[in-house]
Structure 1
């Protein structure tokens, strides 16, 4: 069943500025219990930083997380986004096309307002799916 993104998204995404260190961004992810943060100046989306970006583009590359900025390792623009008025079908289409699991949600003016994940979408299609069960499980500590 097609629904609006506003009905399934995770609102209030964590965000950091491009000059934030990777170490600080990792602490934000831990504190907010998320695997990604938006990289933005106010309403200007600069990129998306994932936990995988930290591992592959910073740590595995031998970069010091205390000196490396998120702007230098995040997925840079153009970032594929959705609006709250887009549909879940559109989100799935973009995820397939760009091989991503999460998409930032921005207002029409470009201001970030949240994320929609593959897990968010799985629940709209089949609330009893294994993916939904995994999404409801307590995080690893």
Structure 2
């Protein structure tokens, strides 16, 4: 099964110049913990609830501080035709729960979550194994 068959296609994103409050409001309205940061349709980062907490609030920045000051800039993504098994491996390897799906030009076309992978029988407990590896502290992953 391909990621394009599982991914959420209606994805909200924010711009790097938006405030962290705007990002938090998008997360609340969509009931998600992370949002892609885009310039136009190109993904340039991700902002998570943890980024807001650690990189903005704990650093003493206000709700009006800009997303680009606290977002995660390293974007791990996949293509729509990526196999679901490979997506689970990518998530486990990089300890992420959501994977932006970008076309060949780098434009956001969807997002695939660990929950999306868990809804299909991609392999005996493969999504669970990926989640287990994602949840371990960095550097302590077990290899299977």
Which TM-score band applies after superposition, normalised by the shorter structure? 0.7 to 0.9
1:139 matched residue in structure 2: none
1:92 matched residue in structure 2: 88
TM score, norm. by length of structure 1: 0.81
Q: Secondary structure at the match of 2:120?
A: helix
1:26 matched residue in structure 2: 24
Question: Does 2:110 match 1:114?
Answer: yes
Cα deviation per residue 1:7-27 (whole Å; 9 max; x = unaligned)? 111112111110100011111
Cα deviation per residue 1:39-60 (whole Å; 9 max; x = unaligned)? 0111221101111111121112
Q: Secondary structure at the match of 1:15?
A: coil
Gaps of 5+ in 2: 128-144
Trace 1:55-134 onto structure 2 (pairs within 5 A): 55-66=53-64, 68-77=65-74, 79-125=75-121
| Higher RCO, Cα 8 Å, sep 6+ | 1
Deviating beyond 3 angstroms after TM superposition, the runs of 4 or more aligned structure 1 residues are: none
* In 2, Cα distance between equivalents of 1:11 and 1:42: 16
Q: 1:11 aligns with which of 4, 9, 21?
A: 9
Q: By how many angstroms is 1:125 displaced?
A: 2.5
TM score, norm. by length of structure 2: 0.80
RMSD (CA atoms): 1.9
* In 2, Cα distance between equivalents of 1:32 and 1:100: 18
Gaps of 5+ in 1: 132-141
Q: By how many angstroms is 1:86 displaced?
A: 0.5
* In 1, Cα distance between equivalents of 2:33 and 2:93: 21
